[in-house]
Structures are given as structure tokens and as C-alpha cells.
Amino acid sequence: MEADLSNELFIVLTLPQKDLSAALKIQELISKEYNLYPHNNYPELHITLNRINKKEITTGKKILNEIATDINKVNINITNLECLMTKESFIVLEVKETETLTKLANKLHSKLTQAGISSINNYNNWKFHITLISNFLTANPIPQPELKKLCLNLDGLGQPISTSAKAIEIWRPTLDSDKKVITSIKL
């Protein structure tokens, strides 16, 4: 099920920008070529772990604070560019399922599900990724035929990156950095 931007919040891992320089360059080049974001205000690269209904913000924060006490280093390994084709197309970085990432995501999903607030219905099919380009939140969406062509040219291109998560956060779906972060816990 695709995200419902008007009713959902995102639980994400943020990453050190210095480790993502090659990915950021690709995002910047494509964004500028298609004039996607006004004032070059690109979406922050992140890994979405889960989604919750925005009415459940208090419970979501409580659960995040509970599990954060048990989180040590979360290893992130990125392999290559990939295209996800759904109703929309996305150019993403494929994130490998490291033991620490999988353990954190499963624990989080379990607690959110027990509380009845996870809005992900197909968690077993969840695929960790970092979205570089999508037509969500863009000023000038890339036409589907062009996005598919771009996907075909970039799909499988190697982008090996090893890093660790910087923070776990709850976000609103907005590019406005002053409104985006609801809560942030450094890892």
C-alpha cells in the first residue's frame, strides 16, 4: 500500500550526509535537470522504517523512546541504484538488510502493530531503500515516460556505501525542514 501523505507520519533513519556524497550528487543532477524542487530544497535522504497515522503521534513518540534505549549502532550497507515501479516510479538506493537494521525495524514494527498504529499492511514485503527521486512533493513532476527511461538507464548502477544511522525520527511528509521533524533521537 502506498503512503497516504495527508494522513500518515514516517518513522525514518537519518544518515550522515558526508557518507552519501555520491548519492546526493545524483539526486542534485536529476533534480536540477527536471527543475523538481524550488530553491534546490531537496528531500533529505533517509530510510523509512515504518508509517503511522498522524493521529497516533503521542503513541508513536512513546514507542520510539522505548526502543531507542536498546539501540546501539545501526549498520547501513547500500549496494546500487534500483527502480521501484508501482503506480509511480522511484529511483532508489537499495539498502541491504543488515542484522542491526532488520532487528531494529522488526522490533519497531512489532511494537507499532501491538499498539495498532502501524499503517503498513504488507510489512513482510517491505524493502529497505533510500529514495533519490520520486514525483511526490515535487514542484514539477517528471513525466512518467521520462522517469521510466531514466530508471532504465540508472537501474543496477553500483553505488556501494557503508555507514551507520545517525538518528531515528518521526517526520511529517514535507520539504519544510522547520515543520518536518516531530521528534529525533540520536543513535
52, pLDDT greater than 90: yes
Residue 75 falls inside a structural domain: yes
Residue 117 falls inside a structural domain: yes
Residue 3 falls inside a structural domain: no
pLDDT at 22: 87
Residue 133 falls inside a structural domain: yes
Separation of alpha carbons 27 and 30, rounded Å = 5
Mean pLDDT estimate for the chain: 89
**What CATH number is associated with residue 147?**
3.90.1140.10
* Domains: count for the chain: 1
* 3-class SS shares of the chain: helix, strand, coil, % to 5: 35, 30, 30
Q: Write out the residue range of the structural domain in which residue 181 sits.
A: 8-186
153 — pLDDT class (breaks 50, 70, 90): confident
96 — pLDDT class (breaks 50, 70, 90): very high
Which residues lie closer than 8 Å to 126 by C-beta, 6 or more apart?
105, 120
Residue 170 falls inside a structural domain: yes
